[in-house]
């Protein structure tokens, strides 16, 4: 009786400990305040999740003074991204390997090269052993000048990630060239071309919703568009929604930040949407398992099936189901609806109220009265979710036990 309990606890402990396996460049650099600016810009440029999703890489960090020198030229964030991506080598160079390079010199491809936008050989870094144990670094297209030197090793996880400090930012005319902000993309055109035409047409028919999406384009936007078959079979339910409910359902499929596929794969958790507005949460959960990313509401589990575009500041992914927010649908097993006409949803029949999502007070009551089945929403949700709640409690207890044991173990050993 003792033994199984101990075994269970050990298993729980392993479960708790296991996920910390992958490296996290943000966490590594956090321990070193001298790289805080570099670290912050890895996050701002969304390079961090890309770095975390790779193995066998070397990050050439520079200290805050070197970053200040770069930033004093006021480069755009897109230019900073190009420059910093030149500082991530797609090979593993620990301090030892750096000082034992075959023939004393090597070219390393970088993440800048991997973007495909580096002209000529500008995406490569030349690493050369110099006199007196020094190691020089230079962008390959920089007249053969090795303008930075190895300072020290910051952290090495052999053959996964090496973080080293170099003396300064590698000058590179190509990487420093002003990178234009990505041209304003035509959302509906991209969706239409890639299997989400019904969603695009529906969005175009609801200008309020479409405007909410396009207003967020500059600051960052991620769209999860249901594939045509999924949306077609959902149209009967869609048409049943109130005018504001339809807009909310559409806006529920957008997130007001740019999330690359790498970010989604490395982040589990609640996600606010364009429909989120004060008390109206309209959120869903991102859950990933290896290469598969799912989006969950209480009623739907949708899977990302395709990437239509993933270029900062815009990402559009296709999903295999329409996401049903619990705010609009009560928990019930969806009755398979007869397949409707292939056309997009009708244009909104009821004339639109000013309808921007800025007016939650006006919208919320309208929804409740339009879909009476939903008004005692919480009660309905609660019954449907007892099992979830129970699972949640179980997980909390498990976590607490695992944590307790984790703390106790070092004392025992
Ligand atoms: C990496 O570490 C940072 C800071 O500790 C944390 O905010 C972030 O969520 C971590 N990322 C992943 C993918 O675990
Ligand atoms: C080292 O130099 C020799 C002779 O120049 C050459 O044949 C060999 O390919 C070089 N090795 C590497 C790894 O560059
Ligand atoms: C790296 O640069 C040095 C100095 O310009 C040069 O001698 C060396 O050949 C270069 N290495 C490679 C692999 O191109
Ligand atoms: C290195 O990366 C591999 C693949 O992601 C992982 O399985 C392994 O645990 C990592 N090793 C270390 C020491 O973190
Ligand atoms: C986007 O493309 C669609 C065709 O798919 C076109 O009708 C629409 O006018 C375009 N929108 C903008 C803002 O260019
Ligand atoms: C539309 O709403 C009515 C009334 O609430 C309901 O009886 C019907 O099943 C709904 N249809 C669909 C397709 O959800």
Question: Domain locations in the chain?
Answer: 23-176, 187-375
Where does ligand 3 bind, in terms of residues with CB under 6 Å? Answer: 105-107, 126, 128, 144, 146
Q: Which of 101, 106, 122, 126 for mutating ligand 3's site (highest number of atoms within 8 Å of CB)?
A: 126
Q: Which ligand ends up closest to the CA of 102?
A: 2
CA 213 – ligand 1 centroid, Å: 28
- DSSP notation for 370-384: H-GGGTTHHHHHHHH
Q: Which of 189, 198, 218 for mutating ligand 5's site (highest number of atoms within 8 Å of CB)?
A: 189
CA 96 – ligand 5 centroid, Å: 55
Of all protein residues, the one whose alpha carbon is nearest to atom 7 of ligand 6 is 240
Do residues 225 and 187 make contact, with C-beta atoms less than 8 angstroms apart? no
How many other C-beta atoms are found inside a 10 Å radius of the C-beta of residue 189? 10
Rounded Cα gap, residues 350 and 115, in angstroms: 47
Q: Closest ligand 5 atom, CA of 200?
A: 5
Do residues 268 and 296 make contact, with C-beta atoms less than 8 angstroms apart? no
- Same-fold call for 23-176 versus 187-375: yes
Which fold does the domain 187-375 belong to in CATH?
FAS1 domain (2.30.180)
Of all protein residues, the one whose alpha carbon is nearest to atom 9 of ligand 6 is 237
Q: Which ligand ends up closest to the CA of 49?
A: 1
Q: Which residue has the tokens 């897109």?
A: 78
Question: For residue 386, what pLDDT is reported?
Answer: 37
How many other C-beta atoms are found inside a 10 Å radius of the C-beta of residue 37? 19
Do residues 170 and 66 make contact, with C-beta atoms less than 8 angstroms apart? no
- 74-86 exposure pattern, b = at least 16 Cβ within 10 A, e = fewer: ebeebbbbbbbbb
Q: Which of 102, 104, 107 for mutating ligand 2's site (highest number of atoms within 8 Å of CB)?
A: 102
Report the candidate in 303, 340, 335 with the shortest Cα–Cα distance to residue 320: 303
Where does ligand 5 bind, in terms of residues with CB under 6 Å? Answer: 186, 188-189, 192
Question: For residue 12, what pLDDT is reported?
Answer: 44
From residue 339, alpha-carbon distances to 130, 205, 230, 238, 323 in Å are: 71, 21, 10, 13, 18
Domain boundaries 23-176, corresponding CATH code: 2.30.180.10
**Phi, psi (rounded to 5 degrees) for 88:** -115, 110
**Phi, psi (rounded to 5 degrees) for 232:** -60, -45
CA 54 – ligand 3 centroid, Å: 27
Q: How many helices (H) and strands (E) does the chain have?
A: 18, 14
Run of H or E including 304: strand 301-311
Give the neighbor-by-neighbor strand order of the sheet with 314-319: 254-255, 221-226, 314-319, 301-311, 292-296, 284-289, 269-271
Q: Closest ligand 5 atom, CA of 189?
A: 5
CA 103 – ligand 2 centroid, Å: 6
Do residues 357 and 302 make contact, with C-beta atoms less than 8 angstroms apart? no
Per the DSSP assignment, residues forming a β-bridge with 59 are 88, 163
Question: For residue 36, what pLDDT is reported?
Answer: 97
- Asked whether 349 lines ligand 2 (CB < 6 A), one says no
**313 cis-preceded (ω within 30 degrees of 0):** yes
Q: Collapse the DSSP code of 270 into the 3-class scheme (helix H, G, I; strand E, B; otherwise coil) and give the result.
A: strand
Rounded Cα gap, residues 302 and 255, in angstroms: 15
- Asked whether 26 lines ligand 1 (CB < 6 A), one says yes
Q: Closest ligand 5 atom, CA of 187?
A: 1
**Residues in the chain with pLDDT values less than 70:** 1-21, 180-183, 331-413
What is the bridge-based pairing of β-strands 314-319 and 221-226?
parallel
Contact residues for 191 (Cβ-Cβ < 8 A; gap 6+):
197, 199, 200, 203, 223, 225, 308, 316
Q: Which ligand ends up closest to the CA of 372?
A: 6
CA 346 – ligand 6 centroid, Å: 17
Please state the separation of Cα 69 from the chain's center in Å.
Answer: 29
Q: Has this prediction a pTM greater than 0.75? A: no
366-239-250-286 Cα dihedral, nearest 10 degrees: 100
């Amino acid at each position: 009786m003792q033994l199984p309990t101990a075994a269970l606890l050990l298993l729980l402990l392993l479960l708790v400990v296991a996920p910390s396996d992958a490296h996290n460049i943000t966490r590594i650099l956090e321990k070193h305040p001298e790289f805080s600016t570099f670290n912050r810009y890895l996050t701002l440029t969304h390079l961090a999740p890309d770095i975390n999703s790779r193995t066998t890489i070397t990050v050439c960090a520079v200290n805050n003074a070197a970053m200040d020198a770069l930033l004093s030229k006021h480069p755009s964030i897109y230019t900073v991204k190009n420059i910093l991506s030149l500082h991530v080598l797609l090979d593993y160079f620990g301090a030892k390997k750096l000082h034992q390079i075959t023939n004393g010199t090597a070219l390393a491809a970088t993440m800048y090269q991997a973007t495909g936008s580096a002209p000529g050989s500008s995406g490569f870094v030349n690493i050369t052993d110099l006199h007196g144990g020094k190691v020089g670094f230079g962008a390959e297209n920089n007249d053969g000048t090795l303008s930075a030197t190895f300072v020290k090793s910051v952290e090495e996880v052999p053959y996964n990630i090496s973080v080293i400090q170099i003396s300064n930012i590698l000058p590179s005319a190509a990487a420093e060239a002003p990178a234009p902000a990505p041209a304003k993309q035509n959302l509906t055109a991209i969706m239409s071309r890639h299997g989400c035409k019904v969603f695009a047409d529906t969005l175009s028919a609801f200008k309020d919703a479409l405007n909410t999406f396009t207003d967020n384009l500059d600051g960052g936007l991620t769209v999860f568009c249901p594939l045509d078959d999924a949306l077609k079979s959902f149209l009967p339910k869609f048409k049943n929604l109130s005018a504001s409910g339809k807009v909310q359902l559409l806006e529920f499929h957008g997130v007001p930040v740019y999330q690359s596929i790498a970010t989604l794969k490395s982040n589990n958790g609640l996600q606010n949407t364009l429909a989120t507005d004060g008390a109206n949460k309209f959120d869903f959960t991102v859950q990933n398992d290896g290469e598969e990313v799912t989006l969950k509401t209480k009623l739907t589990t949708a899977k990302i099936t395709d990437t239509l575009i993933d270029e900062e500041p815009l990402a559009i992914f296709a999903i295999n189901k329409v996401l049903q927010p619990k705010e609009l649908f009560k928990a019930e097993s969806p009755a398979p609806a007869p397949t409707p006409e292939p056309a997009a949803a009708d244009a909104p029949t009821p004339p639109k109220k000013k309808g921007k999502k800025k007016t939650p007070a006006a919208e919320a009551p309208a929804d409740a009265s339009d879909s009476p089945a939903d008004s005692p929403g919480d009660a309905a949700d609660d019954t449907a979710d007892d099992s979830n709640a129970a699972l949640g409690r179980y997980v909390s207890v498990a976590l607490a036990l695992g944590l307790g044991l984790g703390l106790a173990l070092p004392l025992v050993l």
